[in-house]
Amino acid sequence: MPDEFPAELKFCYWGNPILRKMAIAVENPESEETNDFIQRMREKLKEHDGLGLAANQVGCDRRVCLVAFPKEDDYSEIKALINPEIIESSDEKAIYEEGCLSFPALWLKIERPYKVKVRAFIHGEGEAEFEAEGTLAEVLSHEIDHLNGVVFIDHLPQIRRVLLSKELKRIAMEHNDL
């Protein structure tokens, strides 16, 4: 089945069912269509000024995400990861103040592994396995979660999600035209 990418990228917010969908592997990571999609994703990430963006956040069901990697003490090198997966996670955890572009103005303390090992096709570099820790591990975990249909509120205890229900409903109502 050939890769299909949407003609127009429309930003998706909480309440949009695509955020809960497991993304499909990209068949040809080096195709012109994949390259074009990644360039359009880069524009969306720049518009929203985030550290990461998953394809389902712009209405696409393929396993592609953009992640800002550290470069000279700044998270400024945006890499496109195709078909990424976390293959190892540390037992050591850290709590991060985390936001999500699909949940505007919502910041939550989320516990994630301090270190992860990732396997992915990195656009422009090829197949790779690499380790990340701290903020980069957090961002990678967050974006790969998106591709698995998992959002950051899923990492909260049930009671905390219940307490957020009004805010989540507000986000869905204000930002979606479903």
Q: Give backbone dihedrals phi and psi of 20, rounded to 5 degrees, phi first.
A: -100, 0
The pair phi, psi for residue 174, each rounded to 5°, is -75, -30
Strands (DSSP E) found in the chain? 52-54, 64-70, 75-89, 93-100, 103-113, 115-122, 126-133
The size of the chain, in residues, is 178
3-state secondary structure 128-177: EEEEEECHHHHHHHHHHHHHCCCCHHHHCCHHHHHHCHHHHHHHHHHHCC
- 98 as an active site residue: the answer is no
Q: Residue 80 and residue 154: Cα distance in Å, rounded? A: 24
Cα–chain center distance at 84: 11
Distance between CA atoms of 176 and 178, rounded to whole angstroms?
A: 5
Catalytic residue among 33, 47, 143, 174: 143
Q: Which residues pair with 69 in a beta bridge?
A: 77
Active site (catalytic) residues = 143
